[in-house]
Every structure is written in structure tokens, then in C-alpha cells.
């Protein structure tokens, strides 16, 4: 059985990555997949010393949970038509590092990720997260445009 980690952030490219994952499950009935949404920590958002002390962590947590629920619902809709219900993981920390670490610890055989998401730093051809995942992953990565 092949085990796929689908990384999503709710962007159009990540939803296309979900559609590509669905098409792979149609081709190979033994595929198993898990969806990961990674939320940065306060320190990832504001690395300057002392700023996180001023952040209301409860409000930040509510925002993260709300965003994760919205993304989860969008992705679930894609798979619902085929009668599939994905398992979701809410990761924390640096997005690319968390995706790679989760893939390695979970013995995933492949990562599927959109080429560009909602990241604040964008490179010319690939989004910064997908580019970093390509370099840090221990397994093959399918980048979907």
C-alpha cells in the first residue's frame, strides 16, 4: 500500500493538488492518503524578540483553528464525491520543515503539494514552501501547478 501526504493551505494550487491526489486514488485503489495543514507558531510569524508577548495566543489559536476548519471543509468536498473521507493533521511550526518531518515520521511514500500557496515569500517558478519541501523531503514530491 502506498501512503501519500497531501499538503494543503486552501489556495487554488493546493486544491488542485487535492484533485490530483483524488485522481491518483482512482488509478491505484490501494493508495492511502492523509491531509496536512500547517499553521505557523507565533515565533514563526514574528521572529523579533518580545513581539509574541503582545500577541493574544487564545485569539491566534482561534484563528488557526478557524482557518484549518475552512481548508478541511474545502478539501473534504473534493473527496466526498468519491465517497472518501480524508484523515487530517494540523501541524505546527515552519511549514516546509513540518511537512517533511511528518512525511518521514509517518513513513509516507510521497508528498503532494501545490506549486504556490498563500506564502508571503514567492520565488519565480515555485512557491517557497514547495521549493523547500523538494529539498528537505526523504521521499518523492509531486508538485502540482
The CATH number covering residue 74 comes to 3.40.50.620
What percent of the chain has pLDDT above 90? 62
Q: In angstroms, rounded to a whole number, what is the distance separating the alpha carbons of residues 121 and 106?
A: 28
Q: Residue 105 and residue 100: Cα distance in Å, rounded?
A: 9
Range of the domain at 31: 3-144
More confident residue, 126 or 32: 32
Mean pLDDT in residue range 122-133: 69
Predicted confidence at residue 122, as pLDDT, reads: 41
Burial degree of 98 (CB within 10 A; 0-12, 13-18, 19+): buried
So what's the pLDDT on residue 57?
Answer: 73
pLDDT digits (tens, 9 = 90+) for 12-71: 999 999 999 999 988 887 889 999 999 977 766 666 666 676 777 788 888 889 999 999
- Of the candidates 73, 105, 59, the residue with the CA atom closest to the CA atom of residue 8: 73
pLDDT of residue 13: 92
User: Comparing C-alpha atoms, which of 7, 74, 81 is closest to residue 39?
Assistant: 7
pLDDT at 125: 42
Predicted confidence (pLDDT) per residue in 103-113, tens digit: 999 999 999 99
pLDDT tens-digit readout, 2-20: 899 999 999 999 999 999 9
**What Å distances lie between residue 126 and 54, 60, 96, CA to CA?**
34, 28, 13
Q: How many domains does the chain have?
A: 1
Rounded to two decimals, the pTM is 0.87
Amino acid at each position: 500500500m502506498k501512503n501519500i501526504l497531501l499538503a494543503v493551505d486552501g489556495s487554488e494550487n493546493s486544491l488542485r493538488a487535492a484533485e490530483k491526489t483524488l485522481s491518483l486514488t482512482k488509478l491505484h485503489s490501494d493508495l492511502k492518503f492523509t491531509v496536512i495543514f500547517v499553521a505557523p507558531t507565533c515565533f514563526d510569524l514574528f521572529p523579533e524578540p518580545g513581539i509574541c508577548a503582545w500577541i493574544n495566543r487564545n485569539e491566534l489559536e482561534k484563528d488557526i483553528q478557524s482557518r484549518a476548519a475552512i481548508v478541511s471543509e474545502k478539501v473534504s468536498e473534493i473527496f466526498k464525491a468519491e465517497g472518501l473521507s480524508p484523515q487530517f493533521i494540523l501541524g505546527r511550526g515552519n511549514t516546509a520543515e513540518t511537512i517533511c518531518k511528518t512525511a518521514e515520521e509517518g513513513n509516507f511514500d510521497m508528498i503532494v503539494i501545490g506549486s504556490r500557496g498563500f506564502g508571503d515569500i514567492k520565488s519565480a517558478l515555485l512557491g517557497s514552501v514547495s521549493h523547500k519541501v523538494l529539498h528537505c523531503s526523504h521521499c518523492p514530491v509531486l508538485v502540482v501547478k
